[in-house]
Structure 1
């Protein structure tokens, strides 16, 4: 809902009070079983919302329940940023409520794809409710835990109506003491520059090319039929893939391994490091990174990257916008993240390790 709040015109300029003396906030509210207002959160990270203001400071809002402990509140674009989302998790909140109007952004940020990736990577339960608007490609809601996913992703031609998603989920205990890991302001503890400065040389049998994915210039190498062992680097950041193409017809489908390390600047500004295996839209390398929803090829793979951040979110998206849970996910103290998986439900559309370098967002 919208919330209108008066603000002082003649105070500290940092409050950014509008000239009409009022703030308008994109707002979540929570009522308890007695009908009492127990929480109110104002969205901090706006996304083309000219009618709304961001609050002067990020709000860290939680509420307690008698049935499942503490919950935190975030809205839409907030999920991509440190405040308030990661701050809530680092304070021990294991259950987040996420209302959103999220446009599907394949191949890396489809709604259900990133919802589950964040739940898995942050080790939390995420209750996600997306608005349904086919014209704006807004579909996909779910209930995600570190161990399960119950979701609905409408497809073109489906009736434009609501869908109730119900799941029984475990109550996650607070991870007290998790803050002992290095903060995002200390990335060197995860990938020392001297240890990351000498990436392994790319295999010359797999020439590197650049193609746009999510408006970012990814470095790619094409995958060979059958299987292989390939590396691609974007500067000092390298991604490594061992794979076996278990079902394929190379005349019909082309795959590539991509790497990107830098600041995303289109429709938002945030720093990322990404390793991704993607099905290309057609048999031309220039199509790698474009939107794809269907695939026939299945793979067994191990995808690995050495990240300058501990905040890495894993995702596997199969044909028809079906989620698969990575079979193995390993993180080491030097920033190395490895995801192992074998296709189970259908062809592989995308497998990615999506790293967020929150500490570089303002540089």
Structure 2
């Protein structure tokens, strides 16, 4: 690997966003856009072929989309998927702040104690107390959570940013990610599922229904997730479907192949194939050796028969020992061959 600038932060390119809603123009003159919550994931990107791949994988129709503000036009698909298979990349993929935005940009960015732009104590906490998050939207900051994930079956290498402004999702996502990081120390990939889960909350005599983004560890046990960095192959295929397919594949008929062999070398090739596939047993080794001995005896009988019709004698073949030279010691009966 070549040299690197030691002080430069290295991060994967952002390929697009994973959203849980969109906005529509207000019915009122000069009114603010009205948010619409989605029960399924919304995928947006500057690259049309990324969004087309998302539509092929999770349904929906690709359309041109204009983000709020003066951002460049993008592409969007409102999928039919309530959950997505993803990977947590190495490092810390989670970023959280209490934020307040307007048309001019970010007005406040707070870590819960200190407002980062002015270095003042948390303004929302001072104004409304510990239950400040229950105030009307727009009057206080929103708990903003951004999670970078990789989508293993999408084009290109990079991250997709899932963003939510749910106070409840912020607590749960941070707890899950921090537990995973405690085991992996930010090294390696971790398979997860991103799911939009409907929730209900009753407070002040009112019932509210709202979606929450849930991060679930996928295909591995808590023991595996907390035991250290996962092998990349396991992270990419946590359910073991490739291994299961290999186990369920029909086993070759090695004995039939040996019976069809014409030389000792052919029988040894059958042995090597069975050894490479992990199919050797003591019984199979013995039967392959017996077949090799049969072929050797046939060859010796032909050699003792004298010259052929042209008066030519067969070439003498000299072998060391009575067993084929290619049988490794591990193949001997009772030597630990797999049963």
- TM-score category (smaller protein): under 0.3
- Bigger Cα Rg: 2
Name the structure with the higher strand share.
1
> Greater share of helix residues, 1 or 2?
2
TM-score by length of 2: 0.21
